[in-house]
Structure 1
Amino acid sequence: MNFRSNSSIGVCYTCPNRHFRFCKSLLNGSSNEFDAYAVKNLVFTAKQVLYHQGDMNQELFVLREGWVMLTRISEDGKRQVFRSVLPGDILGFQQYLHGPAIYSAIALVDSVVCRIPNIVKLCSTQPEIALSLASAAACDMMLTERYLTQITHRSAREKIAFMILELYHRLRLQRLNRGYSIHFPLKQEDIADTLGLTTIHVNRTLHALKDEGLLAIHKHELTILDYAALCTLVGSEFEMLATN
């Protein structure tokens, strides 16, 4: 893993994610074994790989700021985008914490990742942290299942509408939206590899949604122009997105 460590960025007590999910459980835990000042901030530049699929995975990370994309390469050499990791999300948590990474992680923009020390020991002595990790894993699994539903049963319009709303709601939860606008560093091929579409199909569908006045994309900023219309496309899935 190539990175630049920067201990001056701040500690857990000043982190904007400290009130959310796993970070909150770390700071509010009953154990004195977690040392917030031992957390290391690792700085990655845009397009830099945090770790590769198959690398031995021995640490747990939380994305402090930025945007990271998780990808896998299949046996036939095709790339699949697993999901986007947004601020407050966990990286590196998998079935075998000390086994090879099941996906690669790449920073789409300049990003800061927090390395959490002694996570196995913390989980063994502090049930609330273990429960928080299990909850985060369940949320990730539920999101993955929803994407699988989109890939197998929905049209291209419905798939892209779902992805846009899903990302918008996650960013809004972290107060990283500007009204109905969000930073959107994903390329069309990233969208295609996430949703099981071709890049040409994504391009045509995005143009259609723009022409119909549903959204606009300009210089890595996506703006939802007709929120209700996108919600109609997503249907019942939207209700689950809006309540999580």
Structure 2
Amino acid sequence: MPKDPRSHRLEGRLTVLHRKLSHFYAVSEAVERALVELCTREVRFERQQAIVEAGEAYQAVYLLAEGWVTRFKLLPTGDRQIINFALPGDFVCFNATLFSKADHFLTAKTPVRAYAIEKNPFGKLLALDPALAVALTWANAHEEALLAERLASLGRRTARERVAHLFCELWRRLHLIELTDNDRFPLPITQEDLADTLGLSAVHVNRTLRQLRNEGLIELGTNHVRVLSMRGLEQAAGFEDGYLHFTEVGQLR
């Protein structure tokens, strides 16, 4: 099918977002134009650099173009609970349009390139452009779905199911934006990060990863995972991807 020429400007600057939206939403010329006009100020964050801290005033909404961002809470004990990982094509600080201060921390897990969008113009544009509001609301609705699944993992899933489910979820999200390589997906996070995401100890995570590897489901590399059997990994996790609401994601078997 020939490529719609109207997508050229959007893809040129916001390729990953276009990939993500196009699986759900026919990006109109008006939405394309609005997004291009919004995303003019490029910013970069170094690895481990704070984007916003809990209690700080939001400065902007950010659209990730490259890199991973960790969303997390710090408990009074100093323990960390990772909420999830924001990937290219995701917005962070989206709540800046509604709330003045952040209630969690956002830190660059890898070097990050993003577009900073001033929160007041962003909010006004959403109010004036219903089509853009629908597109971006869908793009951010995954946040709630991801949180619901994480809660189910923390409350009811075994360690094996938690790790397998997170890997299935990350593969789906990365595949949608064309950042998987056949049966491999990038994983620039540590076992401690996995532990803080899944409510496990680092020792338990290590044991579980070894179990999945011994079962012939995954192969661990440097900053990546190779999925040897997606069907087997899905079965281990009890994974169903309907909560992600992706309509045209190819299946790996």
Structure 1 residue 220 corresponds to structure 2 residue 223: yes
- Unaligned stretches of 5+ in structure 1? 1-10
* Worse-superposed segment, 156-165 or 111-120: 111-120
User: Offset at 1:93?
Assistant: 1.3
Residue 181 of structure 2 corresponds to residue 178 of structure 1: yes
- Counterpart of 2:81 in structure 1 is 80
Partner Cα distance (1:157, 1:38) in 2: 40
Contact 1:59-1:97 within 8 A present in 2 as well: no
* Identity across matched positions, percent: 28
Residues 131-210 of structure 1: pairs in structure 2 closer than 5 A: 131-210=134-213
Equivalent residue number for residue 37 of structure 2: 36
Q: Kindly state the Cα deviation for residue 58 of structure 1 after the two structures are TM-superposed.
A: 3.5
SS in structure 2 opposite 1:175? coil
Q: Which has the higher helix share?
A: 2
Number of aligned pairs?
232
Please give the alpha-carbon distance, in whole angstroms, between the structure 2 residues aligned to 1:45 and 1:30.
Answer: 31
CA 1:161–1:37: 2 relative to 1, 3 Å:
closer
Q: Structure 1: which amino acid aligns with 2:242?
A: M
The 1:27–1:209 alpha-carbon spacing in structure 2 relative to 1, beyond 3 Å, is: same
Q: Where does the alignment leave 5 or more consecutive residues of structure 2 unmatched?
A: 1-8, 247-253
Shift of 1:94: 2.0
Higher mean C-alpha deviation, range 195-204 or range 24-33: 24-33
2:21 corresponds in structure 1 to 21
**8 Å CA contact 1:60, 1:92 repeated in 2:** yes
Q: 1:73-97 CA deviation, whole Å, 9 max, x = no partner? A: 1233221101100110010012763
**Displacement of 1:225 after TM fit?**
1.1
Report the Cα offset of residue 216 of structure 1: 1.3
2:103 corresponds to which letter in structure 1? I
User: Structure 1: which amino acid aligns with 2:21?
Assistant: R
In structure 2, C-alpha distance between the alignment counterparts of 1:60 and 1:26, rounded to whole Å: 21
Paired residue type of 1:185: P
Q: Is 1:25–1:132's contact at 8 Å kept on the other side of the alignment?
A: no
Partner residue of 1:116? 117
TM-score (norm 2): 0.82
Q: Is the 8 A contact 1:18 1:27 kept in 2?
A: no
Q: Mark the CA change 1:231 to 1:186 in structure 2 (over 3 Å): closer, same or farther.
A: same
How many angstroms apart in 2 are the aligned matches of 1:114 and 1:130? 18
Across the aligned residues of Structure 1 and Structure 2, the Cα RMSD in angstroms comes to: 2.5
Separation in 1, partners of 2:140, 2:38: 25
- SS for the counterpart of 2:114 is strand
Q: Is the 8 A contact 2:10 2:32 kept in 1?
A: no
After TM superposition, give the deviation of residue 103 of structure 1 in Å. Answer: 1.5
Distance across 1 between alignment mates of 2:245 and 2:27: 24
Once residues 243 and 33 of structure 1 are traced to their aligned partners in structure 2, the CA distance between those partners, rounded to angstroms, is 24
Give the Cα–Cα distance (whole angstroms) in 1 for the partners of residues 100 and 87 of structure 2: 24
Distance 2:34 2:141 in 1: 25
